[in-house]
Structure 1
Amino acid sequence: MYQTSLLASLSFLLATSQAQQVGTQTAETHPKLTTQKCTTAGGCTDQSTSIVLDANWRWLHTVDGYTNCYTGQEWDTSICTDGKTCAEKCALDGADYESTYGISTSGNALTMNFVTKSSQTNIGGRVYLLAADSDDTYELFKLKNQEFTFDVDVSNLPCGLNGALYFSEMDSDGGLSKYTTNKAGAKYGTGYCDTQCPHDIKFINGEANVQNWTASSTDKNAGTGHYGSCCNEMDIWEANSQATAFTPHVCEAKVEGQYRCEGTECGDGDNRYGGVCDKDGCDFNSYRMGNETFYGSNGSTIDTTKKFTVVTQFITADNTATGALTEIRRKYVQNDVVIENSYADYETLSKFNSITDDFCAAQKTLSGDTNDFKTKGGIARMGESFERGMVLVMSVWDDHAANALWLDSSYPTDADASKPGVKRGPCSTSSGVPSDVEANDADSSVIYSNIRYGDIGSTFNKTA
């Protein structure tokens, strides 16, 4: 994800946490979500995949009872005296996806509601795709010389919200085999990581992140611990109805899969570029690239008042799955018309409408940003991650760190909006305040559907 430590901004009002033991109060039943695997020779074949809720949202209670191990912003330190003890004493329970979390599936469509009110109130959510016919393993996507396609409806996502679909290099079993204290694994949504090295993940490497746990000053239901959880990340889609960006983020070569950081490795605060991962990434946001009419709800080329298709292609140097990744291309399909991604509207970027190392260098130079993407390994490093395999993540959330202004407004807010790269969308700099969107846009939602992946050119109608 882009610019800020976005995981710290995920807001949820349940007494939830990520656990390592398995509770027995609620049966864990994974909602089915049909996806398709495609080839140019054989067409597309249904895959009997399903989704699982991230463990950070789940009820965490004592193994032998109903006492919360974590409530609001605080651990119960009488139970969780240290990380390993907490993992032994606390259990992660099953989820009521629709009633409690506002998450439902129908055929190939996933709907994620922003605010769901039942006996408690839930805000936002994050799910992962499980492998076909498996309750215990995430689907691993290896997308070099492949394409990934999905349909999306963002018509009900206003300024300040982010419907994000992306890949993170998580362990396929959620860390179950690596850490003896993790008894829950992918079946209960464990093992999250991304390039922001988030500190709000409550269990990392099979241990509770209780050391130096500090309550958030902006979110009454969040906090951060001593450790962060890092890995490579490919943001296929971060968007609302007003703006969108796709962004590769990479980490140093030593970060393969999920990596627990501490201290300067996490790249916190003023040490943003000194950590193991590239937090800025190399983003392509059409509005930020100078084309303010390509995407949006007011007569734009991509009309966000209606559903459309997003195609992302991962091009290698030799057009094979073993070659180095060199380019990430974007296409759209709407109203049966294939629409190429917009070209940047600045002279030094005018030849680019995809992400390459050359584009990233030119973009960073124009905007005056640090090219940490290149420092950490560039687009080839992203390809190495896809060669090992990445997990599909789908979410909806608001941003307690920066009000999502980095996505849909002028950011930083004190910068000259006429400077290239500052304007990222048409939303006001006063928009996106979590208390406002949670109160006024509670009925917001996003729908992801018709997920397809496979040979380049096999997942969408090229002749439309």
Structure 2
Amino acid sequence: MFRTAALYFFTLLAVARGQQAGTLTTETHPSLSVQQCTGSGSCTSLSRSIVLDSNWRWLHDVDGYTNCYTGNTWDATLCPDDVTCAQNCALDGADYEGTYGISASGNQLSLQFVTQSSQKNVGSRVYLMEDETTYQMFKLKNQEFTFDVDMSQLPCGLNGALYFVQMDADGGVSRFPTNKAGAKFGTGYCDTQCPQDINIDRLRTSVQANVEGWEPSASDSNAGTGTYGTCCVEMDVWEANSMAAAVTPHSCTVTEQTRCSGTDCGEGDDRYDGICDKDGCDFNSFRMGDQSFLGPGLTVDTTQKITVVTQFVTSDNTTTGALSEIRRVYVQNGQVIQNSKVNIPGMDAYDSITDDFCNAQKEAFGDTNSFEQMGGLQSIGDAFNTGMVLVMSVWDDHAVNMLWLDSDYPTDVAATNPGVARGNCSTSSGAPDDVESASASATVVFSNIKFGDIGSTFS
């Protein structure tokens, strides 16, 4: 995955990660039903809910209505430094549908790209909750995870993503007691991009804002980056729009949500010197040589709802064995569709992700193999042993216009070179100003989430 550390979505009056919990707006988590299945094919419905990430929320002074963060600038009085800011500022509850375009009904979750209320909101990121204060933790070794997705309304430049990250189940409250908001308010995000756009950063012993060293974005009036980033293992089950899709594990040398700064964050020229693998080991059918597999009217038809099955196979077919393979299956119109096969010179006809596939891909494409260097599939398996949090989001890309997913990337290399062509979108597509204007109503719908024994969640 080639997104940068900052996910530039900020468009509210004040959006940030907060230590304190606000009381001005009641936080009500939208309900979402999921199913847990067994080898007998029996599935049990679980009443769950979703919570909005803290970085989208209104951040204001604890005792009033004054914004701690407006546009991409901190209030100098409330936030003169990191520690004081976290003490002075509180996250508040969210109007999910009215402000953020997030709606849930039964087993279906809809995320609208742009919502215009009193303020313009772009994109969103939500987590599945087990209860009001705890994220649902997934341990998926020797298990499969299945969901339906309708991404027919997502054009070039957008990403409707479903993935897992190694967040703390309580959003960091136990490790960082000064965090009073916790999972109830969507705190604790981390991923392998070590995002530095997170405005309130949990340190090892406390919660601090990311004020010191904050640099407003030159391309986004509502975004910026700070000195610190937040890193952890990431398993991208689905990053996609109507033109392309990728499944991508990312490894790390750390085993829990971890603060980074400097080289450890892997920014710029230090990309391959950080503590996490930013590129990952992706299986994008188009990039792997089958350009007729997934897209409008193709074998996997993105104009219709798709059932996506991901199987996490272990070396001994037990939940305690080493993760050895990640398999992908699709179901559409009653037909089970096996994953496409690799058609790249010098590579075998792989149709799943293994360490051998990843090593062969990196060699064939001439890419740095940071995935192997930082632990490969073992890193993903270890994270699932601990438990990972389910994330669903929709976003655009202020760094490289999502070209890494759906076009030719890098753009200064011939598209005929192996690994450069990733989708049929133009290299001039995906500019945020364009997609936010032309595709404001774009929506991704996730539904029918199931998880359990391999072979139990689809037929």
Do the structures match in fold with TM over 0.5? Answer: yes
For residue 217 of structure 1, what is the aligned residue in structure 2? 218
SS of 1:112's partner is strand
For residue 156 of structure 1, what is the aligned residue in structure 2? 153
| Residues 1:231 and 2:232 aligned together | yes
Aligned-pair CA distance for 1:11? 4.4
The one-letter code of the counterpart of 1:7 is: A
For the structure 1 residues 73 and 267, does the alpha-carbon distance in structure 2 shift closer, same or farther, using more than 3 Å as the test?
same
SS of 2:11's partner is coil
Alignment of 1:334-413 (within 5 A): 334-413=332-411
Alignment of 1:16-55 (within 5 A): 16-41=15-40, 43-55=42-54
For residue 307 of structure 1, what is the aligned residue in structure 2? 305
For residue 292 of structure 1, what is the aligned residue in structure 2? 291
Distance 2:324 2:283 in 1: 15
The one-letter code of the counterpart of 1:24 is: T
Which residues of structure 1 form unaligned runs of 5+?
none
SS of 1:49's partner is strand
For residue 200 of structure 1, what is the aligned residue in structure 2? 197
The answer to whether the 8 A contact 1:127-1:395 is kept is: yes
For residue 55 of structure 2, what is the aligned residue in structure 1? 56
Distance 1:224 1:347 in 2: 40
The answer to whether the 8 A contact 1:27-1:94 is kept is: yes
The answer to whether the 8 A contact 2:11-2:119 is kept is: no
The answer to whether the 8 A contact 1:60-1:93 is kept is: yes
SS of 1:100's partner is helix
CA deviations 1:45-73 (Å, max 9, x no partner) are 00111000000000000000000000110
SS of 1:56's partner is helix
- How many residues align? The count is 455
For residue 103 of structure 2, what is the aligned residue in structure 1? 104
For the structure 1 residues 365 and 42, does the alpha-carbon distance in structure 2 shift closer, same or farther, using more than 3 Å as the test?
closer
SS of 1:358's partner is helix
The answer to whether the 8 A contact 1:6-1:399 is kept is: no
The answer to whether the 8 A contact 1:251-1:377 is kept is: yes
Distance 2:308 2:103 in 1: 21
| Residues 1:136 and 2:133 aligned together | yes
CA deviations 1:227-253 (Å, max 9, x no partner) are 00000000000000000000000101x
Distance 1:361 1:14 in 2: 45
For residue 6 of structure 2, what is the aligned residue in structure 1? 7
The answer to whether the 8 A contact 2:196-2:228 is kept is: yes
Aligned-pair CA distance for 1:7? 3.2
The one-letter code of the counterpart of 2:239 is: E
For residue 422 of structure 2, what is the aligned residue in structure 1? 424
The one-letter code of the counterpart of 1:251 is: C
SS of 1:270's partner is helix
Aligned-pair CA distance for 1:163? 0.3
Alignment of 1:53-132 (within 5 A): 53-131=52-130
For residue 446 of structure 1, what is the aligned residue in structure 2? 444
Distance 2:80 2:315 in 1: 52
Aligned-pair CA distance for 1:6? 5.0
Distance 1:16 1:203 in 2: 10
CA deviations 1:179-205 (Å, max 9, x no partner) are 122100000000000000000011111
SS of 1:7's partner is coil
CA deviations 1:157-183 (Å, max 9, x no partner) are 000000000000000000011112210
The one-letter code of the counterpart of 1:150 is: F
Q: CA RMSD in A?
A: 0.9
- The farther-off stretch of 347-356 and 412-421 is 347-356
Aligned-pair CA distance for 1:351? 2.0
For residue 165 of structure 2, what is the aligned residue in structure 1? 168
| Correspondent of 1:145 among 142, 145, 166 | 142
The answer to whether the 8 A contact 2:12-2:56 is kept is: no
Distance 1:286 1:453 in 2: 24
Which residues of structure 2 form unaligned runs of 5+?
none
The answer to whether the 8 A contact 1:136-1:185 is kept is: yes
For residue 276 of structure 2, what is the aligned residue in structure 1? 277
TM value normalised by structure 1 = 0.97
The answer to whether the 8 A contact 2:191-2:232 is kept is: yes
The one-letter code of the counterpart of 1:143 is: L
SS of 1:349's partner is coil
Distance 1:204 1:144 in 2: 30
Aligned-pair CA distance for 1:394? 0.2
SS of 1:34's partner is strand
| Residues 1:191 and 2:192 aligned together | no
The answer to whether the 8 A contact 1:14-1:121 is kept is: no
The one-letter code of the counterpart of 1:437 is: V
Distance 1:8 1:55 in 2: 13
- The farther-off stretch of 344-353 and 263-272 is 344-353
Distance 1:417 1:51 in 2: 40
The answer to whether the 8 A contact 2:141-2:318 is kept is: yes
CA deviations 1:261-285 (Å, max 9, x no partner) are 0111111110111000000000000
Distance 1:18 1:190 in 2: 7
Aligned-pair CA distance for 1:80? 1.0
CA deviations 1:370-406 (Å, max 9, x no partner) are 0100000111111001111000000000000010000
Distance 2:69 2:15 in 1: 7
For the structure 1 residues 164 and 7, does the alpha-carbon distance in structure 2 shift closer, same or farther, using more than 3 Å as the test?
farther
